[in-house]
Structure 1
Amino acid sequence: MYHAANISKVLKGELLQDRGFPGIAHILLDSRKLIFPETSLFIPLVSARRNAHQYIPVLYEKGVRNFLVSEHLPLDQYPDANIILVKDTLQALHQLVAWHRQQFHIPVIGITGSNGKTIVKEWLFQLLEKDYNIIRSPKSYNSQIGVPLSVWQLQPEHQLAIFEAGISQPGEMEHLEKIIRPGIGIFTNIGEAHNEGFLTQRQKINEKLVLFAKSEILIYCKDYLELNECVLNFHTQIGKRDNQQGLQLLAWSRKTDADLRIISVDKDQTHTRIDALYQNAPLHIRIPFVDEGSVENAIHCWALMLYLGIAPAVIQQRMDLLGNIAMRLELKQGINNCSVINDSYNSDLGSLTIALDFLQQQQQHPTRTVILSDILQSGKSDASLYEEVAGLLQQKGIHKFIGIGKNINREKKRFQDVEGLKSLFFPTTEAFIQQFNQQDFQHETILLKGARIYEFERIGKLLEHKVHQTILEINLSAMAHNVRQYQSLLKPGIKLMAMVKAFSYGSGSFEIANLLQFHGVDYLAVAYADEGVELRRAGITMPIMVMNPEPGSFDAILQWNLEPEIYSLHLLQQFEEEVRSSGKTDFPIHIKLDTGMHRLGFEKKDIPALALLLTENGQLKVRSIFSHLAASEDPGKDAFTQQQGRLFFDMSHELQKALGYTGIRHIANSAAIHRHPELQLDMVRLGIGMYGIDNGDMREKLRNVSTLKTTVAQVKRLQPGETVGYGAQWAAPGPATIATVRIGYADGYPRCLSNGVGKMLIHGKLAPVAGIVAMDMLMLDVTHIPEVAEGDEVIVFGKDLPVQQLAQWAGTIPYEILTGISQRVKRIYFEE
């Protein structure tokens, strides 16, 4: 544990105030993720969008007493705090963790590359956990912030460290190399990820290779030609620069001579056998995977284990037991109005903290429950480990805890002593299942967190609502990324309203609103009051604008503190009367101006009468004035958009002058945020762009959010001339193979995509619709995809088949496709 004085000395900072206590064990970068206030050092990072120094007063009130800042603070407001002043807090974070890393002299493995970093890291943990007490990056913490948070977890009990590093632009790896300082390096592969940040592929490779500037050995695949050439040049440069032997290379190849020469790769339905030569000796491994990515990742792990001197027989045995890696936290609908967060493939302190943060983000249920197995290979004593876990649960406000395993049972008193925490314990998963009663779980958000050997997937099947095999996956991490992309374009101080109308464009309700509330969006907008009421009932507290308020919904609007859009004098008078009878004053409303859309809104001639009505009563307060752009995404309509902007300026200025106060003004939608930045004003409204859809400059910066997928129900072989579907409109032109899949127009797949107009992805290949789309099923022509089998996954739209393409085939727009997905299609939400 460190103290402010020695940290200040390490950083060459100015110790503005030193109270000498308490010690520092944790780094806190996000004020929302506070767990241990007494022993945390808050480091407020500063970006173009946000200055985290603003959260210092709140954190001080919550008990944080150590602060590393880049701005002077009024010391009299923080009399008990240790405060260190530095020039740049991000640079200081890197410097502090690099110094922390220097205190340890254990083998450290650094992993970089375009794909496979996290899988290789997690597989190495599975393969080596019997030999070492291992610390590793939680999930895919490989960024300029994730890496220091990972390396800070190094403790004296650890015997091996495995950290991954990713970069998106030149110069970043130099910082990460100093923090990780790996002795052993693995370069997984090179691909297209983050290409936009680099001039050429070679530049990207060379930037990533900086991670291994001080390494003793580098493991890589020489079959990537550019990678191989860059590695050889790097190897030469390192040797010359250090005037010593330099970096040792351990290359493997499926094509040419190498240290680990792959002779053959043979696959059956479930396993792959890989034969190779190493130091002139024949070796082989068998892995329980058949995809090419897993083969490549396994060979990297194989090479590392051979370098460490692990016996081939032991390697073979452990490789055959490799398990799936949970790359995401899944949020699913559960029994009895529960939500289930499934993270049942691993259990360690790092990933538990991440999962608890995700659990805390959920506001839809009054009770938060954690089901946790024994945490294995932590390197801590059981007493110390479970005392820390109990502290985590207390800080995160967990209401119910179920512990499964002998070790956690022995430490049950630590959980029973937590005030307000109801706890139950079972020696095994089987014991829990035998005593399972559905009625014990009602209106809860339940986190499943278990080590693989505890088979928590069995518990998941009991708790999760049984789903139709057609599902819509919503990537919450991608949505958060997209929101940040638009936030980065905003001028300082500009607010963000997120459009969650129409069931969040088909994506969900509270699931999306929870994410947006957590990530600091200022406002939500729904179409009708009942959507807003549902969000309020699910625990959403942020302001919500109702865009289509009906007189019959006024009572609900007032009861649930929703804020109506007012677009006519008649509607204004009706709502004012309702507010007056309720006894409320200064109730917030939003005034809609018509600047050319000609759908809803006050016209310029209405402004005097509108201003008079608003100034004559004290029941209403104009929270915002806004309008709707009709064609902001179309360069050919830019003159019209600018005309709308000028009219809005004039009308809003006239209204504000008459009111005597200014409200929030907003007119920019997703496209206008980046195409017409002069229209950002006081707030912008983000809609379809949040879901990763843009036809302009933003397209390359956004990530796909929604994936609609189904499965093959049956495969049939047809003779020439045999017909398919209602009306016998499609006939096999020759010997044909037809796959029936579990989706139809009742699920939202347009019937106009019948007879080859629409296509779906199976095994990465497009398969056209054969015949007429039926209510619950449709058929695909998979004659050209012979490997298709019953149960195979079918992508309706997603990353590799964008919803824009589906909309184009259907002669419509992505909005209609997304909002048309039936509610019987179950939504699964996940965070990477």
Structure 2
Amino acid sequence: MLAYMAAGFSAIEVEEAVSGSLVRGEGEMKASGVSTDSRSLQTGELFVPISGPNFDGHDFIKTAFESGAAGCLAGRGRSREEPEGGFIVEVEDTLGALGDLARYHRGRFELPVVAVTGSNGKTTAKEMIGAILAEGAETLKSEGNLNNFIGLPLQVLGLGPEHERAVFEMGMNRPGEIRRLAEIATPTVAVITSVAPVHLEGLGSIEAVRDAKGELLEEMGTGGVAVLPGEDTQCAVLADRFRAQGGRVLTFGFEAKNDLCAANVQMSERGEVSFRIRIGGGEEEVRLPVVGRHNALNALAAAAAASELGSPLEEIVRGLEEAALPAMRLGVEELAGGIFLLNDAYNANPTSVRMAIETVCELKGAGRAFAVLGDMRELGAFEEFAHAEVGRAAAGADLDFLATVGPAMRLAANEAHRAGMATGRAEVFSSPEEAAAWVAERAMPGDWVLIKGSRSMAMERAVEALRG
């Protein structure tokens, strides 16, 4: 439900916040919350109509008022025929105004805010940070992956006087987007989990990805703290820049040179990760409820951010061990017949695919490892090379079978053959269901099956097919 009740505004406050024009109603009229969805709008809320390529929220202003909206925003000249009822503030751009309204609301509160972005691991790190902070204080954590120009403002509008801390996720696929999100959330701690070749269709190079992520640090300024991976060469550039402008940096990683490091990283037969975390002069054992060695790095990022906000080591460990992560992100499930499913179907990029392949190969033990991989999207001119690299990685890993779905991932199967994967071990399919059927014919008790692909590939269909 896209409605947030914590943020109340008078009509004159809305007009001021969004640099709009109050064209109907009185300045003292009030809205009790904000909604972008006329279907779930509650009586007394402000309706913000958002327009997209296939819809126009202005078509639902009448419905919103009939449902009890206290007021609404509208594009210039778009509200003249609306029924009598609440107040109307006209603006140049309702999406931009939603962000301005959230920024105004953020300014009502003096509290530490953690912003999390990164090519991989941002949702996991955000969930971990939220779990740690909630151990010691009332914390607002953004839901799911609501991290864009609509989702992030709505999350910020959820801030209330009861909150002592907040953590928000930020996503992007174009330059300037992180900067705008940072303007809205005004973070005091910035976490960048990684910089990898993603969204290259809109950015062009990994250096451009780095610079786009770095907008978070630029917007935060020298009064904040940057939490960065200490063994990421692109993030090292961001660290140097931030220090040069007077900012403070905390690094995390596996090496002892970092401010926070993980030692003795282990993975159980079911994939759960454990390690010893070192923060300052303290050290404790942590057992994560998530799969994959790389998640130790996400845990370190979360620990660094939380420690900066004053969380003691015992709260950090407890929060990490209790964090609940979203579905389809390296979730382990035992299927009928003793086959293990590694469900990482939510999304994919070259780096995360390689990490997932490494993970399933480590987990297989005496069994065999299958990978069912769908196309990786938004790679632009890098697409062919990236998919071929996946094929080479699959052939070079201890992977037993590769099933690909989609025209781009076909290149991975072809490259895997060229790199030495035996005939019949790497096959191309037109749908997730066909790939799943091929796997089901071959998988035996003790085998592990990885499912992964970009969101638009809907690789969870392979998961459902394997579940039967």
Distance 1:254 1:23, change over 3 A: same
* Contact 1:15/1:85 (8 A) holds in 2: yes
- Counterpart of 1:269 in structure 2 is 269
- Counterpart of 1:248 in structure 2 is 248
The AA in structure 2 aligned to 1:217 is V
1:46-65 paired onto structure 2 within 5 Å: 46-65=51-70
Residue 792 of structure 1: CA displacement? 4.0
For residues 453 and 337 of structure 2, the distance between their equivalents in structure 1, rounded to whole angstroms, comes to 22
* Contact 2:344/2:452 (8 A) holds in 1: no
* Contact 2:148/2:171 (8 A) holds in 1: yes
The one-character-per-residue Cα deviations of 1:108-150 (angstroms, maximum 9, x if unpaired) are 1111111211111212222232311111111111111111011
For residues 30 and 698 of structure 1, the distance between their equivalents in structure 2, rounded to whole angstroms, comes to 37
- Counterpart of 1:332 in structure 2 is none
Residue 794 of structure 1: CA displacement? 2.2
Distance 1:471 1:826, change over 3 A: farther
Distance 1:39 1:699, change over 3 A: farther
Residue 2 of structure 1: CA displacement? 1.1
* Contact 2:25/2:88 (8 A) holds in 1: yes
- Counterpart of 1:353 in structure 2 is none
For residues 257 and 199 of structure 1, the distance between their equivalents in structure 2, rounded to whole angstroms, comes to 32
- Counterpart of 1:136 in structure 2 is 141
Residue 34 of structure 1: CA displacement? 2.1
Q: What is the SS of the residue equivalent to 1:173?
A: helix
The AA in structure 1 aligned to 2:248 is Q
* Contact 2:279/2:313 (8 A) holds in 1: no
For residues 81 and 65 of structure 2, the distance between their equivalents in structure 1, rounded to whole angstroms, comes to 12
- Counterpart of 1:225 in structure 2 is 233
- Counterpart of 2:36 in structure 1 is 29
Residue 163 of structure 1: CA displacement? 0.4
Distance 1:475 1:131, change over 3 A: closer
Residue 3 of structure 1: CA displacement? 1.6
1:25-424 paired onto structure 2 within 5 Å: 25-31=32-38, 33-36=39-42, 38-73=43-78, 75=80, 77-212=82-217, 213-214=219-220, 215-236=223-244, 239=245, 246-255=246-255, 257-269=257-269, 271-275=272-276, 277-279=278-280, 282-319=283-320, 321-327=321-327
* Contact 1:692/1:699 (8 A) holds in 2: no
1:11 to 12, 18, 22: 18
Distance 1:471 1:84, change over 3 A: farther
Q: What is the SS of the residue equivalent to 1:143?
A: coil
- Counterpart of 1:719 in structure 2 is none
For residues 476 and 78 of structure 1, the distance between their equivalents in structure 2, rounded to whole angstroms, comes to 46
For residues 256 and 298 of structure 1, the distance between their equivalents in structure 2, rounded to whole angstroms, comes to 16
Distance 1:203 1:311, change over 3 A: same
Residue 257 of structure 1: CA displacement? 1.4
Residue 29 of structure 1: CA displacement? 2.0
* Contact 1:134/1:158 (8 A) holds in 2: yes
For residues 152 and 186 of structure 2, the distance between their equivalents in structure 1, rounded to whole angstroms, comes to 11
For residues 200 and 799 of structure 1, the distance between their equivalents in structure 2, rounded to whole angstroms, comes to 21
- Counterpart of 2:3 in structure 1 is none
How many equivalent pairs are there?
A: 379
For residues 277 and 343 of structure 2, the distance between their equivalents in structure 1, rounded to whole angstroms, comes to 41
The one-character-per-residue Cα deviations of 1:67-101 (angstroms, maximum 9, x if unpaired) are 11113246464222311111111221111111110
The AA in structure 1 aligned to 2:182 is E
- Counterpart of 2:453 in structure 1 is 799
* Contact 1:11/1:95 (8 A) holds in 2: yes
Q: What is the SS of the residue equivalent to 1:292?
A: coil
The AA in structure 2 aligned to 1:135 is L
For residues 77 and 107 of structure 1, the distance between their equivalents in structure 2, rounded to whole angstroms, comes to 41
Q: What is the SS of the residue equivalent to 1:203?
A: helix
The one-character-per-residue Cα deviations of 1:226-284 (angstroms, maximum 9, x if unpaired) are 21122212331xx2xxxxxx321111232361222444323343554323544455554
* Contact 2:175/2:203 (8 A) holds in 1: yes
Q: What is the SS of the residue equivalent to 2:97?
A: helix
* Contact 2:253/2:297 (8 A) holds in 1: no
The AA in structure 1 aligned to 2:173 is S
The AA in structure 1 aligned to 2:231 is D
For residues 233 and 345 of structure 2, the distance between their equivalents in structure 1, rounded to whole angstroms, comes to 36
For residues 53 and 317 of structure 2, the distance between their equivalents in structure 1, rounded to whole angstroms, comes to 51
The AA in structure 2 aligned to 1:81 is G
Residue 698 of structure 1: CA displacement? 12
What stretches of structure 1 of length at least 5 have no aligned partner?
240-245, 330-344, 346-465, 479-690, 701-736, 740-754, 762-767, 781-788, 804-817
Q: What is the SS of the residue equivalent to 1:794?
A: strand
The AA in structure 1 aligned to 2:313 is P
The one-character-per-residue Cα deviations of 1:133-180 (angstroms, maximum 9, x if unpaired) are 111111111111111011010011111101010111011122111111
- Counterpart of 1:553 in structure 2 is none
* Contact 1:216/1:248 (8 A) holds in 2: yes
What stretches of structure 2 of length at least 5 have no aligned partner?
1-7, 348-373, 384-398, 402-421, 429-434
* Contact 1:19/1:80 (8 A) holds in 2: no
* Contact 1:264/1:276 (8 A) holds in 2: no
The AA in structure 1 aligned to 2:34 is I
For residues 466 and 442 of structure 2, the distance between their equivalents in structure 1, rounded to whole angstroms, comes to 21
- Counterpart of 1:416 in structure 2 is none
- Counterpart of 2:386 in structure 1 is none
Residue 220 of structure 1: CA displacement? 1.4
For residues 303 and 345 of structure 2, the distance between their equivalents in structure 1, rounded to whole angstroms, comes to 34
Q: What is the SS of the residue equivalent to 2:197?
A: coil
Residue 477 of structure 1: CA displacement? 8.8
Residue 471 of structure 1: CA displacement? 12
Distance 1:310 1:52, change over 3 A: closer
- Counterpart of 1:541 in structure 2 is none
- Counterpart of 1:574 in structure 2 is none
The one-character-per-residue Cα deviations of 1:268-321 (angstroms, maximum 9, x if unpaired) are 4355432354445555433344512321111112223333343334434444x3
Identity of aligned residues (%): 22
- Counterpart of 1:757 in structure 2 is 424
For residues 345 and 75 of structure 2, the distance between their equivalents in structure 1, rounded to whole angstroms, comes to 32
* Contact 1:22/1:39 (8 A) holds in 2: no
Residue 221 of structure 1: CA displacement? 1.0
* Contact 2:261/2:300 (8 A) holds in 1: no
Q: What is the SS of the residue equivalent to 2:89?
A: strand
- Counterpart of 1:650 in structure 2 is none
Distance 1:268 1:157, change over 3 A: same
The AA in structure 2 aligned to 1:269 is E
For residues 134 and 793 of structure 1, the distance between their equivalents in structure 2, rounded to whole angstroms, comes to 37
Distance 1:798 1:118, change over 3 A: closer
Distance 1:192 1:90, change over 3 A: same
* Contact 2:10/2:28 (8 A) holds in 1: yes
Q: What is the SS of the residue equivalent to 1:139?
A: coil
* Contact 1:467/1:826 (8 A) holds in 2: no
Residue 326 of structure 1: CA displacement? 2.7
Distance 1:468 1:88, change over 3 A: farther
Q: Which has the larger radius of gyration?
A: 1
